Amino acid sequence: MYKKIKKRIFEIIESANGGDAASKLFDIVIISLIILNVIMVIAETFDISQNLISVMNFIEVISVVIFTIEYALRLWTADLLYPQYSAVKSRIKYIFSFMALIDLLSILPFYLPFIIPMDLRVLRTLKILRLFRVLKINRYTNALQTIAQVFKNKASQLILSMFVVLLLIIMASVLMFNVENAAQPDKFSNALETMWWAVATLTTVGYGDVYPITAAGKVLGTIIAFLGIGMVAVPTGIITAGFSEVIQNDKQKIETQNDEKHYCPYCGHKIDK
C-alpha cells in the first residue's frame, strides 16, 4: 500500500501523461502559481495599496506552502526518479540537481528571515530571488525543455564562440585605446574603460555615449562593427542548428515508437495495419 501511494504521488508530480487528469491538474496549479508569483514581483515595484499588499502576502504564504510540499514530495520520491541509486544516494542526487536547486531557491527567501536575523536591505535582496520561481515552469513545458536541451547539446560550441567574442573585445579595447586616448583621454582613459565601447560596438548595440572621433579610430570602429555583426551571427547559427537537431531527433523517436507498435511484442513479426 505504501509503495502504491508513493508511486501514484510520483506519477502526479512528474510531467503529466496523456490521460492522467490528476497530474494535469497538478501541473496547471503549479504553473498558475508560478505565473501569479511573477506578476506579484512586478506589482511590488508599483505604489500599491496596503490592502493589496496584504492579499499578496497571503498569496505568497500559500504559494510557499505549496512549493514546500512539492519539494518535500519530490525529495521523498527521488528513489523512483533515480531507481539505479540507493534511497540515500538518489535523494542526494536530486538535492543537487538543477531543478531541485531552483525549487529550493524559490522557497528559501521566505524561511531564512525566521532562521537568521536580517535587516531590510537583505530582505529586499532575498525577495528578488523569488524570480527563480519562473524557472520552475521548465519542468512542465516541452518548449523550455527543448531550449535547455539545445544549450546542453551545443554548450561546447557556444562557449568557444563566447571565448572568441571575449578575445575580440579585449583586442578591440586595446587597439582603440591606443588610437583614441590622445584625442579623448577622458573617455578612452585605459583599456578597461574602452571595453565599454568595445562591448557596445561588437554586440551592435551602439549606445553612442562613447565613440571615436579620429580618422584612424573611425576606420577601426567600422571594422570592429562589421566583425561584431559576424560574431553575433555565429552563436545564432549554432543555436538554430541545435534546434533543428533536437526537433529532428524528437521526430525520429516518434516515428520509431509508431513503427514499434506495428510489430508483435512476442514473435517480432510485423503486423499488417
pLDDT in tens, 47-66: 888 898 899 889 989 999 99
Asked whether residue 268 is domain-assigned, the answer is no
Higher pLDDT, 39 or 16: 39
Question: With 90 as the cut, is the pLDDT of residue 166 above it?
Answer: no
Phi-psi region of 118 (alpha: psi -120 to 50; beta: other; left: phi over 0): beta
Q: Are residues 240 and 164 in the same domain?
A: yes
Domain stops at, among 83, 112, 140: 140
DSSP letter (8 states) at residue 272: P
Task: List the one residue out of 9, 13, 56 whose CA is nearest residue 37.
Answer: 56
Q: Are residues 74 and 162 in the same domain?
A: no
Q: Are residues 224 and 189 in the same domain?
A: yes
The reported pLDDT for the residue numbered 71 is 92
Q: Which residues of 60-79 are buried (b: 16+ CB within 10 A; e: fewer)?
A: beebbeebbebbeebbbbbb
Domain stops at, among 140, 169, 199: 140
Domain stops at, among 111, 140, 169: 140
CATH number of the domain bearing residue 189: 1.10.287.70
Asked whether residue 267 is domain-assigned, the answer is no
Q: Are residues 136 and 227 in the same domain?
A: no
Question: Which uninterrupted H or E stretch holds 199?
Answer: helix 191-202
d(CA 137, CA 177) in angstroms, rounded, equals 45
Asked whether residue 273 is domain-assigned, the answer is no
CATH number of the domain bearing residue 126: 1.20.120.350
d(CA 134, CA 105) in angstroms, rounded, equals 11
d(CA 121, CA 53) in angstroms, rounded, equals 19
d(CA 10, CA 78) in angstroms, rounded, equals 9
pLDDT (average), residues 138-157: 76
Q: Are residues 25 and 94 in the same domain?
A: yes
Asked whether residue 269 is domain-assigned, the answer is no
Which residue is it, cell 575580440? 168
Q: Are residues 119 and 243 in the same domain?
A: no
d(CA 143, CA 145) in angstroms, rounded, equals 5
CA–CA–CA angle 180, 184, 189 (5° rounding): 85
The reported pLDDT for the residue numbered 76 is 92
Q: Are residues 89 and 159 in the same domain?
A: no
State how many domains the chain has: 2
Task: List the one residue out of 83, 104, 87 whose CA is nearest residue 95.
Answer: 104
Q: Are residues 132 and 55 in the same domain?
A: yes
Task: List the one residue out of 198, 122, 188, 145 whose CA is nearest residue 167.
Answer: 198
The reported pLDDT for the residue numbered 228 is 81
CA–CA–CA angle 55, 60, 62 (5° rounding): 95
Q: Are residues 231 and 127 in the same domain?
A: no
Asked whether residue 271 is domain-assigned, the answer is no
Question: With 60 as the cut, is the pLDDT of residue 270 above it?
Answer: no
The reported pLDDT for the residue numbered 195 is 87
Question: With 50 as the cut, is the pLDDT of residue 272 above it?
Answer: yes
Asked whether residue 59 is domain-assigned, the answer is yes
The reported pLDDT for the residue numbered 69 is 93
Sorting pLDDT into bands at 50, 70 and 90, what band is 164? confident
Q: Are residues 125 and 165 in the same domain?
A: no
Residue 48 carries which side chain, given as an amino acid letter?
I
Asked whether residue 162 is domain-assigned, the answer is yes
Question: With 70 as the cut, is the pLDDT of residue 82 above it?
Answer: yes
Asked whether residue 272 is domain-assigned, the answer is no
Domain residue limits at 85: 2-140
The reported pLDDT for the residue numbered 38 is 84
pTM over cut 0.75: no
Q: Are residues 86 and 174 in the same domain?
A: no
Percent of the chain with pLDDT over 70: 82
Q: Are residues 183 and 237 in the same domain?
A: yes
Mean pLDDT, the chain, whole residue set: 81
Please count the residues of the chain: 273
Question: With 50 as the cut, is the pLDDT of residue 266 above it?
Answer: no
